Amino acid sequence: MDASGGKRQKITDWLLEQIRGNVLQEGKRIPSEYDLAERFHVNKMTANAAVEELVVRGYLERRARGGGTVVKPNVSRFKGSIAVFMGGVESSYYSSLLCGIQEGAASYGYNTLLYYSLVNSDPGETGQFLKMGGADGAIIANFFHQPESEIPMLWIDKNRIPVVPGELNQLMHDDYLGGQMLASHLYELGHRKILYIAQLSNILSRRFDGFRDELDRHSLPLLAKESYFRSGLLPSEFLRRLLKRFPEATAIACDGDNVAFEFYWSLKEMGLRVPEDISLTGFSGFPEVQRLIRLTTVDEHPHRIGFYAAELLISILEKRTAEPVHEVFGVEFLHGATTAPPRVS
């Protein structure tokens, strides 16, 4: 850190100490930047940069019309901040996950800062966002790279980057068990001709591993495993081609509710009844899907895992848990209306 950065950090640390100790009270003006410059023997630009950092981090706010800079209401209760880096927020899974993280963090006195996938392709840029936001730790979900930062990080379901055991803090759904539960359910219904549809071939493999291993336990081979999104086809065309190759299929297991939802309506358009003609399963338990079709799936309980992720990261930040941590979070099988015994030929 350069000299000006070190001096700026002393000012931000002092201001945070005064805020958290309620010496600088909520809604009250802080010392002017001239006063801060004089107190810490720096120029006004350095003092201004320190104040601006805490404005960006949400601790201070600048008032118009000569109102000065004041402590932001309700901020003194926060012990620190947790950055949340998240891709795929268009899915309800991630909005529920974020709500859980925010509630968990707030219950332990921490603020949350959300960064969407705009910084999902450049580790250096992500590191800059972390530095600017002054986060104490970070929770990362559905991200493509490891941010460049020295603060503690917790990954939720790190599917997209190769994992080196023992190096990263991880909280993972028990997707392997989820895959086993779905395969066992279809087998017990009497299905022996099953297709498995993956979103992408290189991620979410624990779901497939559990599914395949459960079928292997019954000496039952899969008809095929196919990757949907890499096909470049509309769901109806993908299914027409798939079922032309495997007309004997009685069940389709999808590794995501989003894929299963598209297939459900495409199968109906093709004149196939679900589950009378073909059974269909998903994975994740998206509530918006359940409201419409009551899909047989595995619920990953994103709100609960989000809350627990915040608890786990904060326990690392407060030195109550030693790094690295690697925990598995339970999932729940949901028997919906899209599976039934196979049709009799």
Are residues 283 and 190 both part of a single domain?
yes
Residue 104 sits in the same domain as residue 162: yes
Instruction: Tell me if the bond preceding 275 is cis, omega within 30° of 0.
Output: yes
Whether residue 181 is contained in a domain is answered as yes
pLDDT value at residue 94: 86
pLDDT at 230: 66
Same domain, 196 and 58: no
Q: Choose one of 38, 71, 104: the last residue of a domain.
A: 71
Rounded distance, CA 182 to CA 189, Å? 11
Q: What is the per-residue pLDDT for 168?
A: 83
| pLDDT given at position 162 | 45
As beta bridge partners, residue 96 has: none
Q: How many domains does the chain have?
A: 3
The Cα–Cα gap between 267 and 277 comes to: 10
Is 135 in the same domain as 192?
A: no
Whether this prediction's pTM lies above 0.85 is answered by no
pLDDT score of 160: 47
Taking the C-alpha atoms of residue 179 and residue 209, their distance in angstroms, rounded to an integer, is 7
Tell me, what CATH number does 254's domain have?
3.40.50.2300
Instruction: List, for residues 282-334, the tens digit of each pLDDT value.
Output: 999 998 899 999 999 999 999 999 999 999 999 999 999 998 998 999 999 99
Residue tagged 């079922």 (tokens): 243
Residues spanned by the domain of 187:
175-300
pLDDT attached to residue 56 = 74
Q: Is residue 310 part of a domain?
A: yes
- Give the relative orientation of helices 175-189 and 205-217 as an angle to the nearest 10 degrees: 40
What's the pLDDT score for residue 122? 60
Domain shared by 66 and 202, yes or no? no
61 and 126 inside one domain: no
Predicted confidence at residue 246, as pLDDT, reads: 97
Q: What stretches in the chain show pLDDT beneath 50?
A: 1-2, 160-163
